[in-house]
């Protein structure tokens, strides 16, 4: 099911250094990347990621690139009517 067809109920902010398009490509079929921008200057970046993936599933999806690009991810509060 495409990200536009499934319920998106989790929001994360991801930070990294280099490889932003690689990371976004990996995530694209599981959710939506929003507001990508450089932090200070390239190659440091951040973007918001909307998905239905749980934190452990997201880490597993990015496992092989997390160390390479120094990825840090933070889950935001519930979105789109999800009950806390």
pLDDT tens digits for 21-45?
Answer: 999 999 999 999 999 999 988 899 9
pTM (two decimals): 0.81
Instruction: Indicate the Cα dihedral angle 16, 42, 68, 72, nearest 10°.
Output: -10
- Concatenate the DSSP letters of all residues of 35-74 into one string: EEEESSSTTEEEEEEEES--HHHHHHHHHHHHTTTT-EEE
What's the pLDDT at 78? 60
- pLDDT tens, position by position, 1-23: 454 545 778 999 999 999 999 99
- Count of residues in the chain: 84
Domain ranges of the chain: 10-75
Q: What is the CATH number of domain 10-75?
A: 3.30.70.260
Residue with tokens 């099911």: 1
The whole-number average pLDDT for the span 67-73 is 96
């Amino acid at each position: 099911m495409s990200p536009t067809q499934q319920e998106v109920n989790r929001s994360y902010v991801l930070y990294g250094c280099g490889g932003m398009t690689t990371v976004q490509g990996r995530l694209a079929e599981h959710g939506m990347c929003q507001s990508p921008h450089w932090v200070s200057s390239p190659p440091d970046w951040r973007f918001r990621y909307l998905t239905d993936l749980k934190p452990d599933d997201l880490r597993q999806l990015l496992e092989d690139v997390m160390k390479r690009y120094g990825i840090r991810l933070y889950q935001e509060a519930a979105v789109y009517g999800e009950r806390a």
